[in-house]
Each structure stands twice: as C-alpha cells, then as structure tokens.
Amino acid sequence: KVYKTVVIQQKMAFGKGPCNPLLWNNEDAEKNPIKKTAKRGRPSSNSKQRSIDSDPNVPKRKNSSLSTKRSDLFDSKLYCICRQPYDATRFMIACDRCDDWFHGECISIREIDSDFVDLYFCSKCSQATGKKTSWKPKCANPACCRAARISSHLGYLSKYCSNVCGMQVARARLELLEIKRRHATNANHLTPISELVLAKQRQSRINSCADREDRERLIQIRQEQKDIKAAVDILKRKGKLVKLLVGLRPFIEQDENVPCGFDSRLVWNDDIWSKINHDPILDAQMQIRFDSNEPFDVCQRLKCIKHRQWQKISLIEIKQEKKELFKRLIDLEQERNQIKT
C-alpha cells in the first residue's frame, strides 16, 4: 500500500485539511454512514414492542368505529412511574424484564444516552431480582461519541462502534508510523520542528486514550467476574436449600394432606444471601439453619396454588441462572484476552 504522506504533509503545513488523523479519512464515513439500530426510544408505529398496534388487546383499524375503540383504549393506558398516557413526542425506554415503558426524564436517562444502555431494569424489577441497569462502553475511537459493539446479547464483538471507526484508527496509526519512518530514512531532509511535535502529540494522544480505556475496561471486567462468581455461590446455596427441603417431606403431588412447604428463604434478596458464609445445615431438630437472623416462614397450606410444584420450578430456575452466568464469564474472559493482545 502506498500512503499519500505528501498530501498529508501539505494538508498539515498549509491548513487545507483536518489536523486530527482520525478525521483524514472521514470521507469514507460520510459516503457510507453507519446504520444506527435504535434499541431505545419512542415506540414506533411499525415496532412490535413499541407500538400500540402490537397489543393483542387492540384491534387493527378497519373502519371508523374500530379506530375509535382503539383510540379510546390507547388513551386509557397509562405508562411510566408518572402514570401518564402515551405521548409520541416524549422519549421512552422499556424495562428488559417486565416490558413496561418509562419516560426518559422520569428515570434520568437522556435520549442521546439511550444507545449506551445495555440492559435496563426498572426500580421494581431491580429490587425483585437484585439486578441493575448495565451500560455499554464508549467507542475506543477518541473522535467518536457512540457506543461500542459490546452487549449482553451480542457479547464482545468489538471495542469500536463500527468497522469504519476501527479502520479509521488503524489508518491513523499507520499514517503516523509512515511519517515517522520517512523522517528517519531521509537524514538530509530537515523537517520543521512544529510538524514533528504535532505528529508526536497525535500519536501520543491516540495511544494514551486507547491504553487508558483498555486499562479501565480490564478493571471493570475483573470486578464483573468477581460479582458473577459471588452470584454463582449464592445459587449453589439456594440449590442445597431446595434439596434439603425436598428431603424433609415426601414429594407427593396428589396427596392433599401434605402441606405446601415452600420456604420464603428461597426468595431472599441477593444482599441477604451474600452475608451468609456457609451452606445450609440440618440440626438435631430436623430444622434447616443458616448463620442469618433474617425472619422467614414456611407455607403450611394444604392446597397451595401459588407455590404449586415449587420444588421443580426452583431447581430449573437455579440451573438456568447458572447457565447464563457461566456464559457471561466466558464472554468476559474472551474480551479480556482480546484487550491484552
């Protein structure tokens, strides 16, 4: 590849082009704009999740009477913590667990920051599951303000928002290296000091920004791996508790004289479980004990519809959560190895 370093130097010397190497090849980006996939925003008319037409309870428009009925139902439905009807002019974001919609200003999320949201959990779902809203990192290109292609659904695709940004940074580094190599080989060529200083500053800025972001991301990965391992330990204790509870009573689904036996400790918040340092044990009185003073109760109803087949459901949920956590650990390890290389 022949690099157009002469044209680049002329642009740098006479001010006919941008000084930032990351902007030297922006012509490609302007010709091929990045297609932005809107995950968050206002519910659109053609979106299944963000349109009133997607609601199975709302009939499609066939005549004026059906349109009036749909309009009445549309206006009567309330959203967000402010409990207001749908307004097409206001930015909204959906919870990734309960699928309820919230106004951005009500939950302190700006529309320009919505692309950085990885998984959003409302306050109720966050309290129920212990999960918090996660965010995508910024694109590693210092001249870009978009989110990188890293998410819980996609995994670690790239630390850049697009291939255009990645190639832009690569071209800038190669061009700076070419300038440095040419100055080193041409001993008789006297380069202006200002040009050398400017090129050094550009190279230093790109490398320092990339290195700093990589170090920060490695710290985040280590912390997230630590949190996931703690969550796996909690799930193991929950699984042992379920097995002990099942062993204390005969598992007879059709016997109406057998009490439900659901233990409320299975739905303790992760904050409570994190304070427990050992596995559940069975004492001499055939009682399951923890090193925790949190109150709990055991359901004694004979015909309990609420906790029906809780033994099977609890074990399935624990197994599924473990599977998701292990998959996330693998993705984080791959991302860590890619950053280090």
Is there a domain that residue 264 lies in? Answer: yes
Residues 206 and 236 in one domain: no
Is there a domain that residue 34 lies in? Answer: yes
User: Nearest-CA neighbor of 77 among 87, 69, 85?
Assistant: 85
Residues 115 and 21 in one domain: yes
pLDDT band at 70 (very low <50, low <70, confident <90, very high): low
Is there a domain that residue 187 lies in? Answer: yes
Residues 167 and 197 in one domain: yes
Is there a domain that residue 21 lies in? Answer: yes
Residues 77 and 175 in one domain: yes
Cα separation of 234 and 237, whole Å?
Answer: 5
The pLDDT score that the predictor gives to residue 201 is: 64
Is there a domain that residue 52 lies in? Answer: yes
131-185 pLDDT, tens digit per residue, is 888 888 888 888 888 888 887 776 777 888 888 888 888 888 888 888 887 777 7
| Residue 203 backbone dihedrals phi, psi, to 5 degrees | -65, -40
In the predicted model, is pLDDT for residue 56 greater than 70?
Answer: no
Residues 108 and 9 in one domain: yes
Q: Considering 149, 184, 215, which residue would you say is the last residue of a domain?
A: 215
Residues 143 and 280 in one domain: no
Residues 17 and 125 in one domain: yes
Question: Residue 116 in contact with residue 135, Cβ under 8 Å?
Answer: yes
Residues 117 and 17 in one domain: yes
In the predicted model, is pLDDT for residue 187 greater than 70?
Answer: no
How many structural domains does the chain have?
Answer: 2
The pLDDT score that the predictor gives to residue 57 is: 43
Residues 246 and 302 in one domain: yes
Mean pLDDT score of the chain, rounded to an integer? 72
**What is the dihedral angle through the alpha carbons of 240, 242, 245, 251, rounded to the nearest 10 degrees?**
-130
Is there a domain that residue 185 lies in? Answer: yes
Quote the domain boundaries for residue 303: 231-332
Higher pLDDT, 135 or 59: 135
Is there a domain that residue 56 lies in? Answer: yes
pLDDT band at 103 (very low <50, low <70, confident <90, very high): very high
The pLDDT score that the predictor gives to residue 190 is: 53
pLDDT band at 304 (very low <50, low <70, confident <90, very high): confident
Residues 209 and 314 in one domain: no
Residues 99 and 248 in one domain: no
pLDDT band at 193 (very low <50, low <70, confident <90, very high): low
The pLDDT score that the predictor gives to residue 301 is: 82
Residues 108 and 68 in one domain: yes
Cα dist from 30 to 35, 140, 164, 236, 243, whole Å: 12, 19, 10, 52, 61
Predicted model pTM: 0.40
